[in-house]
C-alpha cells in the first residue's frame, strides 16, 4: 500500500497509540507540523479510503486505528527503495552508505554480526 510522507506522519501517531480521535491526532501533530486541522482530517480521510486506517463511531465522533501494520509498511518501503535505486540488491545499498561514510563503527559491527548469523543459518 502506497502512503505519502505526510500520511506516514499521521500513521506514526496511530501506530504509537490507538484508537485516537481526529482531535487527538491533531494535538499529537501540533508540535511537529504546522498543518491546519482540515489538512490532518483530509489525511485521515485519505488513509481511510486507502484502507490503511479504520474509523469506529464513538458517540458523535470517530476513533481511528491503523489497519496497515507498521512492519508491513516498512517492508514495502524498503523493497521499493531497493528496487528503484539498487536493482533489488542489498549489497550496493550498504556499499553506497559506506562510501558516503554513513556507517558508524557500531553499524559495521552490527552488519558483521548479522552476516555471521546469516552464514550460520545457511550451513
Question: Which stretch of 4-18, 67-81, 89-103 has the lowest confidence by average pLDDT?
Answer: 89-103
Distance CA 24, CA 80 (A): 31
Q: Is residue 89 classed as helix, strand or coil in its secondary structure?
A: coil
The dihedral built from the CA positions of residue 90, 94, 100 and 102, taken in this order, carries a sign that is positive
**Predicted structure pTM score:** 0.80
Tens-digit pLDDT profile for residues 30-87: 989 999 999 999 999 999 999 999 999 999 999 999 999 999 999 999 999 999 999 9
Q: How many CB atoms lie within 10 A of CB 105?
A: 7
Instruction: Calculate Rg over the CA atoms of the chain.
Output: 19
In angstroms, the CA 60 to CA 114 distance is: 50
Amino acid at each position: 500500500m502506497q502512503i505519502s510522507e505526510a500520511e506516514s506522519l499521521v500513521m506514526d501517531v496511530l501506530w504509537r497509540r490507538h484508537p485516537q480521535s481526529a482531535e487527538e491526532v491533531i494535538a499529537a501533530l501540533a508540535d511537529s507540523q504546522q498543518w491546519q486541522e482540515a489538512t490532518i482530517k483530509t489525511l485521515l480521510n485519505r488513509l481511510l479510503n486507502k484502507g490503511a486506517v479504520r474509523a469506529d463511531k464513538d458517540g458523535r465522533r470517530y476513533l481511528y486505528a491503523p489497519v496497515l501494520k507498521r512492519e508491513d509498511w516498512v517492508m514495502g518501503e524498503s523493497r521499493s527503495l531497493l528496487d528503484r535505486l539498487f536493482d533489488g540488491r542489498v549489497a550496493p545499498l550498504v556499499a553506497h552508505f559506506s562510501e558516503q561514510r554513513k556507517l558508524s563503527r557500531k553499524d559495521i559491527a552490527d552488519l558483521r554480526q548479522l552476516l555471521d548469523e546469516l552464514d550460520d543459518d545457511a550451513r
